[in-house]
Structure 1
Amino acid sequence: MDTAAQSVEKKYRVWIILLSVVIPIAVAVLFSVKLKDFGFDVEPLYFLPPIYAGINGLTAVVLVVAVMAIRRGKQKLHENLMKFAITLSCMFLVMYVAYHMTADSTIFGDFNHNGVLELSEQNEVGFSRYIYLFILLFHIALSVIIIPLVLLTYVRALSKSFVRHRKLARITYPLWLYVAVTGVVVYLMISPYYNY
């Protein structure tokens, strides 16, 4: 790696570390904060989950098209699509936090919407609850891991360190794609239990 590339990566290293730590902590904290608990009279933003699930789906499509573009040598198109994918991910994050700050969490299998998973409900959903929780846990864990990977992959492209960019992108791409696709799957699985 040449000195110019090293300089660019070094310049962004602190930001990558900072964002990789601050974003998950901020989301976790804000996830537990309810605006109504602070006296704000806000209606739950029930319209957001299908929108941010759609954004996850669109992110997955953009990622696939971006990879196809770079394989065909369309570097500028690839670059623009990746910027768009990052923007979509940021939009998702803002909407996700806004929804959870205004609405109570939904419990998978809570058919009567009382906020408690009763034994009869648990028996009715059966093993599908464990499948949902498995997908959700991996989705959450990888969404935390993907933050520094996306940022570092992007910085390597900015620094024109394309060999190192490609090497890391081979790890980042499938993980990011998994997070985007499972975001849609998680929404589709939990949506019957939303209390609108």
Structure 2
Amino acid sequence: MQLARWQVYRFVLGDQYWDVLSGWDLAKGCGRLSTPVVAFDPSTATARTHSGRLYVLDAEPGYDDDARYVFEARYGAAVPEGFRLLDAADEYWQLIAGQAHTRLPRQGSRALNVVVGKAEEVFGGADSAALWLMANHPLLGATPAMLLGSKAGRRLLYAELTRIELADSAAPAAGPLPTDIC
């Protein structure tokens, strides 16, 4: 599905969050609301949701009355108790516009900052870490940045960063390989 005048609503509960897309469905000519986003590819502006649907974000984010109506019909006009509702459209737009290197995804959570800090350490700086966090990685099944919103995702990322760090430190010194290795 292709969404115009799209928004990204982020539901935050403690140190976890999930994003839903809202916008004008260009094919059906109506407001649309997605299930939670599970993966996002900024190079194609395509989000995969929990239901398995693919949403292509068309042009810049915007506001659509019909899409807001669908959002409020699903979630109500007030934020559910215990949640915070944030607008994450600018974050997605920065990724799409290729500005990932200007801002790493830090939401203030200590656990999130630990993972982002580990990525900066492993890759030698914020720019390289941002490129890794925003790139699609088939081994992880998503872009690393999309896994930052859950405790399980952060643990998986920290383990992967540790594996990369250990693999780099165990790499043999430059030169010919020993001939007796099987």
TM-score, with structure 1 as normaliser: 0.29
Structure with bigger helix share is 1
Structure with more strand by fraction: 2
TM-score by length of 2: 0.31
